[in-house]
Amino acid sequence: MTAVPLIGVLALQGDVVDHMRALEAAGARAVRVRRAEELDAVQGLVIPGGESTTMSKLLEIFDLFEPVKKRLDAGLPVFGSCAGMIMLADEVLDGRPDQRSFGAIPMTVRRNAFGRQVDSFETEIAVEGIAGDPFRAVFIRAPWVERVGEGVQVLARVDSGDGEGGEQGGRIVAVRAGACLATSFHPEVTADARVHEYFVGMVRGADAGPVE
């Protein structure tokens, strides 16, 4: 078990610095990942918020799409927030036809889903696996999850006011599937590092190690 794991933040675009700060607050060492060699060194990866269509394009321009996909397929622990959640899905609704995603989590994600009601908002939510007070979740042109496949655990829902979201009510906004974690919201913009602590715990448990 690695006491202080090295976790990369995909740094092509988006809120990289906030994730690095939150990871360090959660007991990890954080590095930017822009090249395949940098990716090889990390034991976990954060895919930040930003714009998934742009991120998809930049991943190809920087020749990083396949290397990231390969490591995810091999079980590298990953946390995607907002656009990062979209990048992890195996089906994206309201995306651009040429936008690609890693398909690491069997789920259908709808881009800009809350936008039809309200673009950006904050609310307190309970997140399974995170003890204590509810988590202050910040949603910025956020996606929601419309379908989860086998092996996907729903960690949080939020009432979107549309009366949809299944029997429990509310749209799915946080999921875990094996070594993959995804949230519609942006835990890195608050001072509360509990979601990052949860992810660092996943990385410690997986002990993926760098690529030799």
Looking at the annotation, which residues are catalytic? 82, 186, 188
Name the DSSP class of 122.
Answer: E
Q: Which is nearer to ligand GLN, 180 or 206 (CB)?
A: 180
Q: Which is nearer to ligand GLN, 2 or 13 (CB)?
A: 13
CB of 83 to ligand GLN, least distance (A): 3
CB of 150 to ligand GLN, least distance (A): 26
CA dist., res. 88 & res. 86, Å (int): 5
Q: Which is nearer to ligand GLN, 43 or 199 (CB)?
A: 199
CA dist., res. 35 & res. 37, Å (int): 5
Burial class, 43, CB count within 10 angstroms (exposed 0-12 / middle 13-18 / buried 19+): buried
Q: Which is nearer to ligand GLN, 82 or 179 (CB)?
A: 82
CB of 95 to ligand GLN, least distance (A): 7
Sequence-distant (≥ 6) Cβ neighbours of residue 148 within 8 angstroms:
106, 107, 154, 172, 175
CA dist., res. 135 & res. 22, Å (int): 15
And the tokens for 3? 């006491």
CA dist., res. 116 & res. 96, Å (int): 18
Where does this chain bind ligand GLN (CB under 6 A)?
49-52, 82-83, 86, 111-112, 140-141
Closest by CA position to 116, among listed 164, 52, 187? 164
CB of 122 to ligand GLN, least distance (A): 13
